[in-house]
């Protein structure tokens, strides 16, 4: 199976596809490892969370992703945190203390929204180090790829944005039918939709059809976001 996973208030939500690229199931858990372990015969999972942090204030992947999404949708790509912020001693540190060190090392600070994700970022990076087959994706890049390279018109939090994204998923063969959504129907709709988009990109990656930011022929050591 090919999966997409998105972080949500309750933990993590997963959508998985069969070998034909059709939605085959959904799941959720407070633990990312449990989500991945619950997916039958998992081959690869696309996760909407930074993987492979750097000892640097920015990553080329994030810069290129924001540029590809344009000024409106690009704001959804948060700058990845520096690697030290997910070390155990920093995970529960006060925001101001973390940012004081960021300013000292890199001359910049990070938003509370980004720093609030430290535990989830640490979790996905631990999973990757332990050998789980995961890649980094960003749903807005996925939807842009589905939309022939055009960033979407509406925010995902609006009705127009929700319908826009559901329509693109259905046009791409991903139908979120009611019976498949039973395990996750208590979760926010946009998190489920984002997980489905992540699964679409992971499916493309599985046969070499995904877009890479930065392009895969450039500097193989760079972290990448796939769409």
Sign of CA dihedral 156, 4, 48, 210: negative
Residue whose token pair is 């959904």: 26
Name the pTM for this structure.
0.92
The predicted pLDDT at position 179 comes to 92
The predicted pLDDT at position 142 comes to 97
Residue whose token pair is 């019976």: 179
Q: How do the domains of the chain map onto residue ranges?
A: 2-52+128-226, 60-125
- The residue ranges of DSSP E strands in 43-91, in sequence order, are 44-48
The predicted pLDDT at position 212 comes to 94
Percent of the chain with pLDDT strictly greater than 90: 82
For residues 145 and 212, give the distance between their C-alpha atoms in angstroms, rounded to a whole number. 11
Per-residue pLDDT of the chain (227 residues; tens, 9 = 90+): 999 999 999 999 999 999 999 999 999 999 999 999 999 999 999 999 999 999 998 899 999 998 988 887 877 878 899 999 999 999 989 999 999 999 999 999 999 988 999 999 999 999 999 999 999 999 999 999 999 999 998 889 899 989 999 999 999 999 999 999 999 999 999 999 999 999 999 999 999 999 999 987 765 678 999 99
The predicted pLDDT at position 126 comes to 95
The predicted pLDDT at position 219 comes to 59
For residues 187 and 185, give the distance between their C-alpha atoms in angstroms, rounded to a whole number. 5
| All residues at 6 or more sequence positions from 192 whose CB lies less than 8 Å from its CB, including other chains | 6, 13, 15, 26, 176, 181, 184
The predicted pLDDT at position 216 comes to 75
The CATH label, of 3.90.930, 3.10.310, 3.30.1950, 3.30.420, for the domain at 2-52+128-226 is 3.30.420
């Amino acid at each position: 199976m090919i999966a997409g996973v998105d972080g949500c208030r309750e933990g993590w939500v997963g959508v998985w596809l069969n070998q034909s690229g059709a939605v085959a199931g959904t799941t959720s858990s407070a633990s990312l490892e449990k989500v991945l372990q619950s997916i039958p015969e998992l081959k690869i999972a696309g996760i909407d969370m930074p993987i492979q942090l750097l000892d640097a204030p920015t990553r080329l992947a994030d810069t290129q992703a924001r540029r590809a999404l344009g000024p409106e949708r690009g704001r959804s790509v948060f700058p990845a945190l520096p690697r030290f912020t997910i070390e155990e001693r920093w995970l529960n540190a006060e925001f101001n203390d973390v940012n004081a060190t960021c300013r000292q090392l890199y001359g910049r600070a990070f938003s509370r929204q980004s720093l609030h994700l430290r535990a989830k970022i640490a979790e996905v990076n631990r999973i990757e180090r332990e050998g789980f087959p995961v890649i980094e994706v960003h749903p807005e890049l996925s939807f842009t790829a589905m939309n022939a390279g055009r960033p979407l018109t509406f925010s995902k939090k609006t009705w127009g944005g929700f319908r826009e994204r559901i329509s693109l998923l259905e046009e791409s063969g991903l139908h979120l039918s009611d019976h498949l959504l039973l395990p996750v129907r208590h979760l926010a709709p946009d998190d489920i939709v984002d997980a489905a988009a992540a699964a679409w990109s992971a499916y493309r990656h599985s046969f070499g059809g995904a877009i890479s930011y930065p392009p895969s022929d450039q500097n193989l050591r760079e972290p990448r976001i796939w769409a």
